[in-house]
Amino acid sequence: MDRWFDDPVLGKLPPREAATKLREVGENAAADRLEESETVRSFETKGIGGRNRWPFQDKPWQHTSHAFGYLAHAAPGSELLPIRAIGNIPADAGLRDGRVKIALSRLRAASYPGSGMHRVLLHVSAQNQARGKAEDVHFNTTYRIWDGDQAGVQGYPLFVGLCVGGEGLSLKCRTINVSNDQDEAFLDFLESDTFKAGLKLATTAQPVIAPFSEMALGLAKMVAKRHRNVAVQDFDLGLDFGADPMGGRLAEGAYLAVQIPESLRPIWNWDEWAYHPNLAQVVKRADHQQTIPYNYLVFSVSRYEGS
């Protein structure tokens, strides 16, 4: 089985396929604009140039680039907490060959395709560097989120006791907007107590992990391909102990993954944003009432203290 998804997220689909997906979830106006634009004709006649040239740039779900930020652990207080680029922080060498807990702290749907309440399936993958064997681990969780709101989640465990290798760890994430009624019924299963404790890992390879992970990935792939379901956010983040300023460092703290327009990627500046402890929100430094206007998720990394 392939280790990741075959189908692109919405922002990477060819124009007519994107328009079809948009109509499935009720985004008819956006589909009309896309089909009537030169983007479709250019893509179909030349085979190039149309994939990322949307006739509009005002929908957070259409972007494919990401900005990654880091928020360090801090003592309680009311002062704004700085967010830094993940390549501009010191790595925590104490995590090398250790174990960590990865938890979901935020999932914000600034705008997902469709309207009203969204059912979002989050699929995450990492590599557990257990003694004797490195194993890919996969986990699914699901949330109900109103458009423009964030999920009611804070510190939700994803991987508990994940073994970090000597080179660090990598994390892959994909969000899928689920509108298929049959799949929504299936997702109720993922809200059971069995899954709320996260995927617990050991220092040695566990025979049950491989089939569980294959099942989790297979189910997410199946849901992603179904009618009226559309993948929105997808990223692959590597965190290591090196010094490459264009890489990402591994440390205890919170990591933000913000789905931004490609045009903003060269100029995105984390100095303009901060975490406001009293509001429990990431806000603009110059205006604390302004939050990030894009889809994003935040996951935390902490040292695992269990046996």
Q: Which amino acid appears at position 53 of this protein? A: R
Residue 181 has pLDDT above 70, yes or no: no
**Residues 164/100, Cβ–Cβ less than 8 Å:** yes
Distance CA 175, CA 189 (A): 18
The per-residue pLDDT of the chain, averaged, comes to 86
pLDDT tens digit sequence for 1-33: 346 888 899 999 998 899 999 999 999 999 999
At 50, the pLDDT band (50, 70, 90 cuts) reads: very low
At 37, the pLDDT band (50, 70, 90 cuts) reads: confident
Distance CA 234, CA 36 (A): 27
pLDDT tens digit sequence for 232-288: 999 999 999 998 989 999 999 999 999 999 999 999 999 999 999 999 999 999 999
Among 109, 102, 67, which residue's Cα sits nearest to residue 230? 109
Residue 51 has pLDDT above 50, yes or no: no
Domain segments of the chain as ranges: 66-303
pTM for this model (two decimals): 0.87
